[in-house]
Structure formats: structure tokens, C-alpha cells
Amino acid sequence: MQKTLKTNKFVKKNLMIVGALVALILLLDQLVKIYVKTHFQPGESVNVFGDWFVLEYIENQGMAFGTTFGNKIWHKLALSIFRIFAIGGICYYWYQQAKAGVRREFLIAIGLILAGATGNLIDSMFYDFAFPYDPCMGYNHLEGSGVWTNCDQYFVGKIETKHRGFLLGNVVDMYKFQATWPQWVPWLGGKDVFPAIWNTADASITIGVAMVFLRQRAYFPKKQKAQIIQNNEQATEATEEDQL
């Protein structure tokens, strides 16, 4: 009974620590996005570290790093609904892994992926309502959407624009590397090292996935090694609980 109580406390402690990290990333992601949307003009950029790392305000209608998914309303809805189910699945898996007593580092990796997916979903859910919408901005154009808008003020006439509403909003991006490969690098010389513009949520997902990929042997050890690790973690758990 006492061991069960200690285990439950340890699980709650892990969930609270990782939950706080998720909340912090979400807060940072949204604060940066809101600041950029309210202080930058579309396409405006500001140097952060010299001229190789800048903040540049753009929006995208698709997935991470500006990748696109389609031009019909159901394409965007499917993407947003998939994110909702994925977030629910990640939360469930995260909780089950915490109860199973896995490494806290693995829970952090899952939490980073969860935070990133949730951060971009918030944009799609609410930004069409929270901020002024100009359908004539370039990032709102969507050929094949069937939604026609008169943009005579921009001297372009009628154009097709994206659908608007709940789960249909753009995702805000702002981080950009302005570095190029040296000319001597085969096939890549003179090209951008990383041409995509991204946000905090994208970075969080990437770091979490990279942790799982690079540390999978530590997170998913073979049976004998897993038993040794489990015994060590149980000893650590007991020590931490004794200190509470």
C-alpha cells in the first residue's frame, strides 16, 4: 500500500514537471505569435542575432515549416481534426507511459511533441476570430478554393482566397535562418541551409521527435537492460519519495 502511494506520487510529480514544461512552451509560442501579429507588417523582418537569424512575419495555411496540404475546405478541416485526435492520443500515451514508470526524459520528449502540436492547433482554432482578417494578403490567397474576393485596392481584381472559421485559421511563423552553404559543398553550395520559416511550436515538435529518434535505445531498452534500469529508477523513486 505504501509503495503504491509512493508510486502514485512519483507519477504525479513527473506529470506535473512535464506538464509545466508544456504550459511554458505553449505560453512562449503564443506570446511570440501575438507579438509578431500585432507589431509586424506581413513580410517585415528584424535581425535578432546579426543578419543570420531574423524574425520575419509570415503565415501559412498548412503544416509545420510552411508545407501545404490542399486547397479545399475539407483539406484544412481534416488536418485540424487530425491534430485534435493526435493530441488526444499523445496525452493518453503520455499518461500511460508515466504510470508505467518510464524515464522522465522520455516524458519530456513526448511533452515537447504535445506542446508543438497544440500550439499550432490554437492558431487554426482561434486566430481567424481574434485578429483582423485581410483576405487580399498573399498568405491568404488559395488558388482552387472557390472563395472569390475582390482585391481591387491591391490592383489585382478578383482572386481566390482561403476559407475562414473555426479550425481554418493560418499558422503564424517568424523564425528564419539566413545562412547559406559554402560554395565548396557539393550540390548545396550557395543554397540556404534551412530555407523554411518556423515557430516555437515547430521547434518543439522537432526537438521532441529528435530526442525519441536519437535516444530510442535509452527509452526502449532490451528486456534485461530494461529490468536493470527499472530497478535503478525504483531505487531513485524511493529516495525521492523519502525526501518528500
From the candidates 29, 134, 173, 242, which is the catalytic residue? 173
Q: Kindly state the cell numbers that stand for 77.
A: 478541416
Catalytic residue, chosen from 128, 192, 202, 242, is 202
Strand partners, 177: 53
Question: Can you tell me whether residue 233 is helix, strand or coil?
Answer: helix
Residue ranges with strand state E in the chain? 45-49, 53-60, 148-150, 158-160, 171-177
Length of the chain: 244
152 belongs to the catalytic site: no
Nearest 5 degrees, angle CA 214-CA 219-CA 223? 125
Q: Is 173 one of the catalytic residues?
A: yes
Q: Which long-range contacts (CB under 8 A, 24 or more apart) does 205-209 make?
A: 205/64, 205/112, 205/113, 205/116, 205/117, 206/64, 206/116, 207/112, 208/108, 208/109, 208/110, 208/111, 208/112, 208/113, 208/114, 208/116, 209/113
Active site amino acids: 173, 202
